[in-house]
Chains A and B, each alone.
Chain A
């Protein structure tokens, strides 16, 4: 039996279990970095395997798990996000308190994301989405002494549970229509037979769109996002914003661009409508926020809308644009959250805009990181956020969905208002009524490293865009390969 294609999954699950077990072994205080080291080593080993497996599709476990350029690119994005969050969490109280559980759950969630990316079957796809969600429910509530964290966990659990139930009900109907749970067989059935307009299939499409929209925090299933993003510990929020989004869009691409490409005319308008509403609602609601984590939550909703444009287009070009934008989005989101996390350790209510006032003057490099991150999120040229949006909107125009590109452009224009506000606040003078508690701690090296590395990536992904776009193109083509 060929298990080579499943090695990323096996290494990740092994590392997460090992990290958890290290917590119960009586190793003494000197081993307190052991779980994080095991997790980092697991991520690096998986990354190497992802590079090795980059190529033609290989399958394992009778086709339940597959490794091709598409899944390996997504695995690399997920692993980068995981490594970044591992480093950012080093000073987080909940993570210091329970290192093994924290790291183990983070790794389990990352394993779920890897499973989504490498799944070749509805069952493994669902299992991956659940593995990542269930671990995140616990991680959101991990600061049990803090009421907001518990609330965030409970809310995420209930709303996430509803999303999963809707999603799996849609998958059940898709299975009912096609008679197979294998993605490739579903693709073959749907493109061969004339199933367009079949009522059961339409029900399945609506339910699957709704279920994935819950996970990707797209309107109208976005209500949980601001609350959970604000209440969860910030590194967990950063992980949700990057990893979960990547996994949700991996699901979107596998289901829509990949398996259901034969009935494209059935779902294009639906996904396009969701995208348009998501862009507008996310951007307008973000204007009113004063908490940076909440603001970034609404920004994450709006970004999900931009990404959905690439799904609605449905072509190789659309998938290519989504993949590129996911790389860029992960880098810029990690950079923005790194600054929030560093600031949060220094002052009470460090996640408000007020706490960031003048921070760029005190710590110029942090100001530069945040400014580049928000400018890229807003889509300023020549940063990678701009390149990504250019690809997404370009794919929409080329495919005859100019109106969607216009909605995206209008949304980006609105988003300037709140993104620039963050940049302005960072560089405005330090207020005189400085609270006494305001102090500067010694820089956490790991956090600063993540912030700087992500910023370099935001710029670098734009400068070296063409090789990355070629990679994304190859990945998108392998998605549509039979």
Chain B
């Protein structure tokens, strides 16, 4: 098969996934956490598209489209919740959200 080799797709997606995972672990602002989760979801998209080309099968690309829609829905809900939290003047730092102890 011509074009970008599969290993590049997997490498890029793995890097994106790990950066997202790292972001989730060290960031504390809900907006940045959402961003990191988006990065993780998009890493799956890169992998799906790569595999879809590898197998010459369109299902992977359809899956990637579905993941995009889901990610958009999640961000909408997330932003809505962040705005609602902000209106209640609750500190926008998940460590400060300590009424409920984890």
Contact = CB atoms under 8 A, between A and B. Distances in A.
Interface stretch (A7-15, A168-176, A451-459): A168-176
18 contacts: A123-B62, A123-B66, A126-B63, A126-B66, A148-B99, A150-B85, A155-B97, A155-B102, A158-B94, A161-B41, A165-B40, A169-B13, A169-B40, A171-B63, A179-B57, A180-B59, A224-B102, A226-B102
Given A148-B100, A176-B54, A161 B74 contact: yes
B73 A134 contact: yes
Q: Could you say which of B13, B43, B55, B63 has the most chain A C-beta atoms within 10 Å of its C-beta?
A: B63
Contacts of B66: 123, 126-127
Nearest to A294: B100
Contact of B78 (A150, A161, A168, A173): A161
Given A123-B59, A126-B67, A151-B99, 14 more contacts: A122-B63, A130-B73, A137-B77, A150-B90, A151-B97, A152-B100, A154-B78, A162-B37, A164-B70, A165-B37, A169-B13, A175-B51, A180-B57, A226-B100
Interface in B48-90: 48, 50-51, 54-55, 57, 59-60, 62-63, 66-67, 70, 73-74, 77-78, 80-82, 84-85, 88, 90
A191 interface: no
A227 B40 contact: no
Nearest to A225: B102
B66 to A, nearest CB: 6
A141 to B, nearest CB: 5
A180 B84 CA distance: 41
Contacts of A134: 70, 73-74, 77
A174 B101 CA distance: 36
Interface of A: 122-123, 126-127, 130, 134, 137-138, 141, 144, 147-148, 150-155, 157-158, 161-162, 164-166, 168-169, 171-173, 175-176, 179-182, 223-224, 226-227, 230-231
Given A175-B63, A176-B51, A180-B59, A147 B99 contact: yes
Q: How large is the interface on B (under 10, 10 to 19, 20 to 34, 35 or more residues)?
A: 35 or more
Contacts of B102: 155, 223-224, 226-227
A227 to B, nearest CB: 4
Contacts, number: 135
Interface of B: 10, 13, 17, 20, 24, 30, 33-34, 37, 40-41, 43-44, 47-48, 50-51, 54-55, 57, 59-60, 62-63, 66-67, 70, 73-74, 77-78, 80-82, 84-85, 88, 90, 94, 97, 99-102
A164 B48 contact: no
A165 B16 CA distance: 12
B48 A175 contact: yes
Contacts of A166: 40
B89 to A, nearest CB: 10
A180 B51 CA distance: 10
B47 A169 contact: yes
A162 B25 CA distance: 11
Contacts of A231: 100
Contact of A141 (B34, B63, B81): B81
A165 B39 CA distance: 9
Contact of B88 (A123, A126, A150, A227): A150
Contact of B37 (A138, A148, A161, A179): A161
A165 B51 contact: no
A165 B44 contact: yes
Nearest to B87: A144
Nearest to A124: B66
Contacts of B44: 165, 168-169, 171-172
A138 B73 CA distance: 11
Contact of A179 (B43, B55, B84): B55
Contact of A172 (B37, B48, B100): B48
Q: Could you say which of A150, A152, A171 has the most chain B C-beta atoms within 10 Å of its C-beta?
A: A150
Given A130-B70, A138-B77, A147-B90, A158 B100 contact: no
Nearest to A122: B63
Contacts of A161: 34, 37, 41, 74, 78
A200 to B, nearest CB: 8
